[in-house]
Amino acid sequence: MQRVLTTVTLLGLLVATAAAFVITEHLKLTKSALFGTVVPKVLSPVCQCPTRVARIKFRLRHADRVTVTIVGASHTTVDTVASDVLFSARGLHHVVWNGTTETGDRAPDGDYYPWITLNGRKKFELANKMVLDTKPPKVLAKGLKPVLLAGPGRSVAISYTLSEPAHAVVYLGARQIVLGRKTRVHDKIKWAGKVDGKPVRAGRYVLSIGAQDVAGNVTPAAGRVRVTVDVRYVELTPDHVTVRSGRRFRVHVETAVRRYTWRLGQRRGAHRGTALQLRAPTTPGTYRLVVAENGHAATAVVRVRAR
């Protein structure tokens, strides 16, 4: 009799275990009523950019009434962006949080989470963090090469230090001309002497360096750091030469192209390389040596004395 009871008990345990396994596997195969959630990582209600609001997206397995609340790091409710709203089972739905509290005030900077409740019963406490950030990045330090020799493959590198990881931005006046790809605290951003893809004229340009963080906050104009760049497509050294008539003299030519043209008095020609060696005119006087490339030119004054 004892053996029969033991056998029955073991059979009961096996049946219970099998049933529990079947239930567990069934639960694993049961699809969630809420799926396809997309929660933005950052928002800045003060920026005039796509991240000024947070669009919380989701899909439903079946039509249901949805309540979406925004909670803070301590899980206290900050705002309700959807209250018992009926959504269908078709398509991708979204609700918008504009970074305010239930009283309409702007929520303080910090971490927030969306919680979604279906039909007043099933609650999904999403762990996707949204960072509300309204503070613009600051430019703390800068460094600049003093001269830009523009042309194919030439650029000037501007070093910067920011208060937080952000995209460096280069402005010419109020116009943004370069947006850095990297989001770093310390780095360099390059300018190739172009605006809208076209080379600027030779001359002196005052640029300003700002930054834009991932939330879309931009350094205000008053907080940008100015840097001066001299754009010189052709540079001659020295730019004043004194030589006796008929004698040879040399000028160093700095340019980004391989071939350039020169003109001295009535003579002209083409040359390659940085060392331009010419013979002075036989008639004493003051001449202008003009070296040009692709429409850009530099001039040196040549004073010729009698022998």
pLDDT at 17: 55
Separation CA 222–CA 90 (nearest Å): 49
Q: Does any domain span residue 199?
A: yes
Strand order in the sheet with 275-279: 234-237, 248-255, 275-279
What secondary structure does DSSP assign to 91-137, as a single string? Answer: S-EEEEE-SB-TTSPBPPSEEEEEEEEETTTEEEE----EEE--PPP
Same domain, 220 and 254: no
Same domain, 266 and 202: no
pLDDT at 24: 44
Same domain, 123 and 203: no
What secondary structure does DSSP assign to 153-204, as a single string? Answer: T--EEEEEEEEEEEEEEEEETTEEEEE-S--EEEEEEEE-SEETTEEPPSEE
Q: Does any domain span residue 150?
A: yes
Among residues 132, 149, 182, the one where a domain terminates is 132
pLDDT at 28: 46
Q: Does any domain span residue 24?
A: no
* Blockwise average pLDDT, block size 10, the chain, 307 residues: 52 51 47 94 95 97 96 95 95 96 96 96 94 97 75 85 96 95 93 92 92 96 93 92 96 91 95 95 96 92 94
pLDDT at 12: 54
pLDDT at 132: 98
Q: What is the pTM of this model?
A: 0.75
CATH number where 52 lies: 2.60.40.4070
Q: Does any domain span residue 178?
A: yes
Taking only the tens place, the pLDDT of each residue in 144-159 is 767 787 777 788 899 9
Number of domains observed in the structure of the chain: 3
Same domain, 146 and 183: yes
Same domain, 88 and 48: yes
Same domain, 225 and 239: no
Separation CA 145–CA 191 (nearest Å): 11
Taking only the tens place, the pLDDT of each residue in 233-270 is 899 999 999 999 999 999 999 988 889 999 999 999 99
Per-residue burial over 204-215, b = 16 or more CB atoms within 10 Å of its CB, e = otherwise: ebebbbbbbbbb
Q: Check if the beta carbon of residue 214 is closer than 8 Å to that of residue 181.
A: no
Among residues 111, 132, 153, the one where a domain terminates is 132
Burial of 46 (0-12, 13-18, 19+ CB in 10 A): middle
Separation CA 108–CA 100 (nearest Å): 9
Q: Check if the beta carbon of residue 115 is closer than 8 Å to that of residue 97.
A: no
Among residues 203, 231, 259, the one where a domain terminates is 231
Q: Does any domain span residue 187?
A: yes
Q: Percent of the chain beyond pLDDT 90? A: 77
C-alpha of 257 from chain center: 31
Domain with 282 in it:
234-305
